[in-house]
Amino acid sequence: MKIDNGDRQYLSISGVFEGTCGVSRGVIAFTPNRFGRSPEKARGAALAGEPILLTQVQPSGDGQSYTARYQALS
């Protein structure tokens, strides 16, 4: 059995997060470090400098971090 623990990439979500996030199988994981707006309402971001569309943004089990599905725009 092969386990995919993902990797780390730079993520920028305006007013929500700026820094390194976890990335695995089309899902990102992050803990908000900016408090300009609700993470659940975020749709646009940049992952490793490339624009992405965020979908299904939701809190994870601990209530402090979030996960989101994404797709590349370019």
Q: Whole domain around residue 46: which residue ranges?
A: 7-72
Give me the number of domains the chain comprises: 1
Q: Decide if 2 is inside a domain.
A: no
Strand-pair partners of 8: 22
Residue 44: the pLDDT is 96
- Quickly tell me which residue has 């299904």 as its tokens: 56
pLDDT digits (tens, 9 = 90+) for 33-67: 998 889 999 999 999 999 999 999 999 887 789 99
Q: Decide if 1 is inside a domain.
A: no
- pTM of the predicted protein model: 0.88
User: How many angstroms separate the CA atoms of 24 and 8, rounded?
Assistant: 9
Mean model confidence pLDDT for the chain:
92
